[in-house]
Amino acid sequence: MLIDFHMHLGNCFRQEYPSGRRSPSIHQALDWMNRNAVDMAALLPLESPEVCWGYYLSEEAVAQRDLYPERFIAFCCFDPRMRQVPALVKTFVESYGCKGFGEALNGLAFDDDLNKVVYAACADHGIPYVFEINTSFCWDEVGLPRLEACLKEFPSLAFCGHGPGFWSAISGDDPRVGYPTGPITPGGAIDRLLDRYDNLWLDLSAGSGYNALSRDPEFTRGFVERHWNRMLWATDYFIANQQIPQVQWIRDLDVSDEVREAISSGNAKGLLGI
């Protein structure tokens, strides 16, 4: 079974209409899943003004899940600067059946007090939190000290890391930006944090996740051996006809059936309680 832990629909490219990129419709997403043997996908709303030119609302993700409830899982996401975020999380988890929070992409520091209100609400409801770290979103410094402080402060919350500013920390020589290439040097923050905190998870989606796991195949072999039980197969599919290298990556991964099944769906099922 294959579960995509990270997909966005909505209308995130409305400024490019009619000739530019298009967000996929629910039907295009389903067609793409069928053609690539993806059984289920988590729909992650985008509700912060910095992230893109449009919003993908939690209500939309819920309504789309309700069309094909056996194929889609709805998350909720709210900007931490809104009032009453804990009440929104409670309603969307308890009444709308949302199984996670994210994708968090707000213009605050990772350990901003407003973000901590969201972490506490997600911890209260036992749902995982999917975030991107980037130079201006949920930002952090070399060594990810702000993320580490939150892993420590909210030990029952599953933090699922993603994005260039997260994955560049796989290497000891972390430039904090972009998609660094070439061999990974020991001493990266991600290995250290995974060893120290059992509430950190790895979202393998997007160019950032694929780049981190393909730039140094020898390192990747050991990294997968050490951390397969914290890896979540995911795509960040959010553009119609997007190329997704993760599909071939999981097929080609040289691991046991048990490990492949855990990365493909088992870890996600455990985290989402499905």
- List interacting residues with Zn ion (CB under 5 A): 103, 236
Return the number of other C-beta atoms located less than 10 Å from residue 4's C-beta: 30
4 or 216: whose CB is closer to Zn ion?
Answer: 4
Shortest distance in whole angstroms from residue 121 CB to Zn ion: 21
Contact in structure between 45 and 76 (CB atoms under 8 Å):
yes
- Minimum CB distance to Zn ion smaller for 184 or for 234: 234
Could you tell me the strand order of the sheet in which 40-43 lies?
3-7, 40-43, 72-74
Looking at beta carbons only, is 52 or 194 nearer to Zn ion?
52
Q: How far is the CB of 6 from Zn ion (least distance, A)?
A: 6
In the complex with Zn ion, which residue's Cβ is closer, 167 or 219? 167
Residues 38/4, Cβ–Cβ less than 8 Å:
yes
8-state DSSP, 40: E
Give 109's DSSP letter.
Answer: B
Q: In angstroms, what CA-CA distances link 19 with 13, 237, 241, 243, 253?
A: 10, 19, 14, 18, 37
CA 109 to centroid of chain Cα atoms:
18
Q: Which is nearer to Zn ion, 208 or 267 (CB)?
A: 208
Q: Least separation, in Å, of the C-beta of 137 and Zn ion?
A: 11
The minimum distance between CB 130 and Zn ion, in angstroms, equals 8
For the bound state, the minimum distance from the C-beta of residue 144 to Zn ion, rounded and expressed in Å, comes to 19
At residue 59, the 3 state secondary structure works out as helix
**Residue 92 or 137 with smaller CB distance to Zn ion:** 137
DSSP E strands in the chain: the ranges are 3-7, 40-43, 72-74, 101-104, 129-132, 159-162, 200-203, 231-232
CB 60, min distance to Zn ion, A: 15
Judged by beta carbon, residue 4 or residue 103, the one nearer Zn ion is 103
Least separation in angstroms between residue 236's CB and Zn ion is 4
Nearest residue (CB) to Zn ion, 104 versus 150: 104
Query: Where does residue 15 rank: exposed (0-12), middle (13-18), buried (19+ CB within 10 A)?
Result: exposed
CB of 103: closest distance to Zn ion in angstroms?
Answer: 5
Asked if residue 39 lies in contact with residue 136, where contact means CB atoms within 8 angstroms, the answer is no
Q: Is 43 helix (H, G, I), strand (E, B) or coil?
A: strand
- Under 8 Å between Cβ of 53 and 39: no
Give the residue at shortest CB distance from Zn ion.
236
